[in-house]
Chain A
Amino acid sequence: VDETLRPATDYQSQELDAVWYMPRGGRAKVAVGNSSANPVSIIISDSTGKDRNITLRGYETRMVEISATGADKDGATQSITIHSSGEVGAVQAIGYLLFPEGGIRTVRMYDPAAMRSADLFATNLPIANRDVQLVLRNVGQHTLLARPRFRSSSSGSLSEGDVPLQLAAGESRIVDTTALMLRAAADPDFKAISVQIANSNPEEGSIIGSIAAYDSSSRVSFEIPLRDRGTLRTSAGSYPVRLDGDYTTIVSITNVTEEPAEFAGSIFYKQGTYSIAQRSLSPGESAIFDIADLRNRQVPDGGGTKLPSDLTNAQFNWSMLNGRDTPRLIGRSHLASPTRGISASFSCAECCPDSGVYRSVAPPGLTLTIDGFQNFTNSAQVVTCYGETQNLYESIPWNEINSSVAYSSSTSNNNNRSFGVSPGSASSYIDTFYTEYTPANCAFTETDYRLEQPETVNPTVAFGTLAAVVKGATTGIQVTVTPSPTSTPITLTLATSTGSGSAKFASNNSATMTITSTGSININGVTESSTMGNISLVASLNGKTLSSTTFTVVWVTLNIITSGSVDPNGDNGVAGRYFATTNQTTLNSPSIAFNGVLIQGTVAPVNFTGAIDLKRSKVSYARYDDLSNGSTLIPGDPYTCGNPDLTQCAGDSGTVNENVDNTPSTAGHVYDWDIPGTTINNPNSGDVGRITRTRQNFAEWASYNGVTVSNILRWYNRNSAKVAQSLSVGYESSFAGDNQAGQGTTSTAFDLH
C-alpha cells in the first residue's frame, strides 16, 4: 500500500471520500486513524447506504471492513465517506483492496474541500498488456459531465474516442476503457499514459476517482493517484530513487494546464548532483525520467556530469519554474522491483516551487579587440524553499545592443563567446525575470531584470572638436586613443568627401599618418573647401573605421570699399550702425574730415557658419596740429610698428555688432566699417587757421578663432582739416592726394612726401 505522509494542514474539512473499482469477490479495508490527542466520533457511510458510528481515542487507528456490494464479472464501484467530529486533519484514512485471486491495491482518501481544481489528473500510468480500471464519483451537489482524456506519456498525443460520462450528485461509475486498451495494444506510443478527467462542473473538488492498471497474470496493480491540480507545493516534488538490484525508478512530470509550463530538477546523490535541464512542457505533455537508464547509458547533464555507474540510492528533486502563482505541473515517481514484487508510487510535494532563475555572467564586462573574441560563462541558479542552491545549465539566446561593435553567442551550456567587430561599446543581453516564493505560504513576487554583458572593443579613437582649419595654417586636433599606447598602429586619413578643398598632416605633409597613442595632431589647410564640412578625418584599423569627423578648410578674401553704399550687397548686418554714427548711408565723406571705409570679407566656402572677425591694426601713423601749416606732430606721434607681423601691431579693431558683422551672410560676406579722419571740435577764434592732419596706415585681416584666415590687406587714410575765419571747419587740400582712403600705404609726412 502506497500512501503519502501528509500534514494536517493539507486538509480543509472533516470529510474524506474514496471511490474504487471493486472486483467480484474483492474485499476492502480502510485504516482510520486519529492523529490528535482527543477522542473523535466518526461516521462512515459506504455504497450500501449504511452508516456506522465509531469513536477513536487519541492517536487510535482502527481497521474497518467495507461491506462488499453486488459486483458482477465486470466489477462494481465502491465508495465511502468519512465524517469526523475532530479538528480538520485530525482524522486520516487509507485503505486497500484485496483481489480474490490475490493482489492488493491502494484505496486513496481525498478531502474534496482541499482540492484545487475541478479536473483530475494522473501521470505516467503503464497500461501495456494491462486492464485499465477507472472509476469516478461525483461528490458535488450537481450533475456533471466527466470527459476522460488519455495522452501518451511519451509523445503527449491524445487517444481518440473519449466519451463524456454523466454523473448525478453522489453517483459513482466505472469508465469504459476498452478503446484505450485497444489503442495500447496497437500503438507502442501508448505503453503509458497520462490522464485528465475534464469536469463540466467548475466547482473544485466536485469529483474524485481512482485509476489503476491491472496485470491479471502477475496480479499486480499499478495504481496511481488521480488527483486535482494541487497547490503550488505540488508543482514541485522530491522522491527517493532506488536502483539496487532490479529496482527501477521512473519519474514523470505532467503539465496539467492549458499553457506551456517549465520545470527543472536535480538528482542528489552522495558524491554530487546531476542536473535535470530546464524544460518546457506543452499542455498535457509529460516528461519521463528513467533514472536507471540515465545511469546505465551514462547520459551527461548540461554541465557534463554523469551519474555514477554504481549509483543505487539518490533523491530526485524537481520544481516548476517561472510559473508565477499557478500550479501547473504534477509529478510522481514509480519505484518498482519485479523480483521483489514491489511497485510503489511517490508524489511527495515540496514546501514551495523553487525561487529563481537567478542569472549572472562571469566575468562581467569584457574588453575585446577588433576581430578578437573572449569567452565568458553564464550561470543560472534556483534556490529551493529549503535554501538549497541548484545550478541550471542553459544556452542564452543573446540579444545585442550595437552588434556592429560586438556580439555574443552561446557555445555550449553556460559557455559563451563574445566577438569584437569594431571599436566602441556594445552589450549582449536578455530580458528575464526571477520568481521568489516565501517558504511559509508560497506567496510569490516576480522581478524583471536584464542579464547584460557589456563589451568594449578597443582600440577606440575619439576626436576632439575641430570645425575648421585655416588655409595655410596649422591647427591641432586632440585624438584620444584607448588604450594608449595601443599595440597596433591606427591610420589617420584626410580626404575630400565632395567638391574641392584639401588638408594634410603637418608632421609628414601627407594625407595619411599613423598613431599609437593619445595626442594632438596638427593639420595644415591646403586649399579652401568648396562647401562646409567636406574634409573628413578618419581613424581606421585594418580597414575598419574607428572614428571619423569632418571639418572645413576656410579662407577669406578681403577688399576695401571707399565709396557708395555701406551695404553694397544688402547683407551688411552693421550698416545700420554706420548710419547711427554718421546719419548717412554712403561711405563718401561722412563728415569733415573723415572717410568712410568698408572692408568686405568673402568667406570660402560661402556656406561657412563660423564667426569670422575682421581685425585691424595700426601699422604707422602721424598726427599734426598747429596754427601755421599743419606740420607739427602732436606729442607722442609718430608711431611706426616695427613688427613684421602686422597683426601684432597696435590693435585698432572695431567692435563686433557695432563696426563688425562677423556672421557670414548667405553670400559668405563679413564686414568691418571705419570712419578714420580728424577734425577740430567746437573751434573758437583762437583756432582760426588751425590745421590738423592725420596720416594712417592700417593692416586688416580676417581672424578665425584667433588664427589669421586671410591675406593682410594694407590700407591707408589721410585727412586734413582747417578752421576758417568763420570758425567753420573745412577740408585742407594743400597736398595732392590728401583726404582720401584706399588700398595700399601712405606717407605719414604732413606733406605726404
Chain B
Amino acid sequence: MRRLFLVFLVFASFNCAAQCPVELGEGRRDFDDQEYRASRIALARNVISATTSRNDGACFAAAAQYLGKFRVEAAIPDLIRLITLERKFDHPDRMLTIADKYPAVAGLLGMGEAAVPSLLDVLASQETTSLASRNALEALMSINSGHEGDVLAALSSFLSNEKDVIRAQRLTYALSTVRSDWCRRPFSTCEKVGSGSR
C-alpha cells in the first residue's frame, strides 16, 4: 500500500487524472513471475490502447517503457500510431529528451531492432517534415546509437525494395538526412555496420 501511495504521489506531480494501473518501473517479480509479468503487460497494453489513459502522461510513459523493456512486439503498431503523442511537463526538472517528450518513442526504443521495420515504414509513409517522421528518425537513430551505419544499411535496403515513387523519395530524404546530419555528429559511427546488440 505504501508503494502504491508513493506512486500516486508521483502521478500527482505529473497531474495525473486517474490512478495508473501500471506501476512505474519494473521489479524482480516482473522477471521471475511469468504470470505476473503477463498480467502487467496486459495492463500496459490497455493503457496504450485506451484513449483516456493517454491523458496521464506519466502513466502512458510507464506503460510504454514497460512494454519496451519486455519487448512486447505486439504493441509496436499501437506505439507507432501514438508516436506523436506528447507528454506535457509543467515544471520539468531535467533537460527533456525525445523519449521524455514522446513516451511512445521510449517504448519503441526498448523494442530495439524489432521496431526498425515499422519505423522505416513511418519514414516512407509520412511527410518528411511531419512530426511522426521526425520522431521515427530520432527513434531509429536512438535504437542504433553507436551503430549509425546500421541505419544507413537498413534504409538503403528498404529503399531498394520500395516500388512506390513517393515512398522512395521520402526514404531517400531520410537517408540523405542521416548522411548529412547524423553522420557528421560527434560519436557517430556511420562506417560501423552490424556490430553490437541493441
Residues of chain A at the chain B interface (Cβ within 8 Å)? 476, 567, 572-577, 579-582, 585, 590-591, 594, 615, 621, 623, 625, 634, 636-637, 639, 641-643, 648-651, 653, 655-659, 661, 663, 674-678, 694, 696, 705-707
Chain B binding surface SS class? helix
A623 to chain B, nearest CB (A): 6
User: Taking CB as reference atom, which chain A residue is nearest B144?
Assistant: A657
List residues 1-56 of chain B with CB under 8 A from any CB of chain A. Answer: 2-3, 6-7, 9-10, 12-13, 24-32
User: Taking CB as reference atom, which chain A residue is nearest B189?
Assistant: A576
Q: Quick one: given A567-B187, A656-B69, A657-B110, are A696 and B28 in contact (CB under 8 Å)?
A: no
B188 in contact with A576 (CB, 8 Å)? yes
B93 in contact with A706 (CB, 8 Å)? no
Q: Quick one: given A579-B185, A650-B10, are A655 and B94 in contact (CB under 8 Å)?
A: no
Most chain B C-beta atoms within 10 Å of own C-beta, residue among A623, A643, A656: A656
Contacts of B12 in A (CB 8 A): 636
A658 in contact with B97 (CB, 8 Å)? yes
Is B198 in contact with chain A by the CB < 8 A criterion?
Answer: yes
- From B13, B28, B196, give the contact of A706 (CB < 8 A): B28
B18 to chain A, nearest CB (A): 17
Contacts of A591 in B (CB 8 A): 95
User: Taking CB as reference atom, which chain A residue is nearest B10?
Assistant: A650
A237 to chain B, nearest CB (A): 70
Is B138 in contact with chain A by the CB < 8 A criterion?
Answer: yes
Given A655-B65, A655-B110, A658-B97, output 9 extra A-B contacts at Cβ < 8 Å: A573-B146, A580-B185, A582-B95, A641-B6, A653-B25, A663-B196, A676-B94, A677-B95, A678-B93
- Closest 8 pairs between A and B when the two form their complex, measured CB to CB: A706-B28, A675-B95, A651-B24, A573-B146, A655-B99, A576-B187, A657-B109, A651-B25
User: Taking CB as reference atom, which chain A residue is nearest B186?
Assistant: A585
Q: How far is the CA of A575 from the CA of B9 in the complex (A)?
A: 32
Contacts of B27 in A (CB 8 A): 706
Contacts of B96 in A (CB 8 A): 581
Is B142 in contact with chain A by the CB < 8 A criterion?
Answer: yes
A to B CB contacts below 8 Å, 25 in the list: A573-B146, A573-B196, A575-B145, A575-B186, A576-B148, A576-B186, A577-B97, A579-B185, A579-B186, A580-B97, A580-B142, A581-B97, A581-B98, A585-B187, A623-B91, A650-B10, A650-B13, A650-B24, A651-B10, A653-B25, A655-B110, A658-B97, A658-B98, A658-B142, A676-B93
Q: How far is the CA of A123 from the CA of B197 in the complex (A)?
A: 80
B68 in contact with A656 (CB, 8 Å)? yes
Chain B: interface size category: 35 or more
Q: Quick one: given A577-B142, A639-B13, A648-B6, are A657 and B198 in contact (CB under 8 Å)?
A: yes
User: Taking CB as reference atom, which chain B residue is nearest A520?
Assistant: B32
Q: How far is the CA of A623 from the CA of B6 in the complex (A)?
A: 18
Q: How far is the CA of A157 from the CA of B54 in the complex (A)?
A: 99
Contacts of B93 in A (CB 8 A): 621, 623, 676-678, 694, 696
Q: How far is the CA of A705 from the CA of B69 in the complex (A)?
A: 11
Is B112 in contact with chain A by the CB < 8 A criterion?
Answer: yes
* Residue interface mask B144-179, A partner, CB < 8 A = 1: 011010000000000000000000000000000000
A706 in contact with B32 (CB, 8 Å)? yes
Is B106 in contact with chain A by the CB < 8 A criterion?
Answer: yes
Contacts of A705 in B (CB 8 A): 28, 31-32
B112 in contact with A657 (CB, 8 Å)? yes
B25 in contact with A657 (CB, 8 Å)? no
Contacts of A658 in B (CB 8 A): 97-99, 106, 109, 142, 145
Contacts of A641 in B (CB 8 A): 6
Is B76 in contact with chain A by the CB < 8 A criterion?
Answer: no
Q: How far is the CA of A694 from the CA of B13 in the complex (A)?
A: 14
A479 to chain B, nearest CB (A): 15
Contacts of A674 in B (CB 8 A): 94
Contacts of B198 in A (CB 8 A): 657, 663
- From B95, B106, B185, give the contact of A655 (CB < 8 A): B106
List residues 68-122 of chain B with CB under 8 A from any CB of chain A. Answer: 68-69, 91-100, 106, 109-110, 112
B95 in contact with A581 (CB, 8 Å)? yes
Contacts of A642 in B (CB 8 A): 2, 6
Q: How far is the CA of A705 from the CA of B145 in the complex (A)?
A: 23
Is B143 in contact with chain A by the CB < 8 A criterion?
Answer: yes
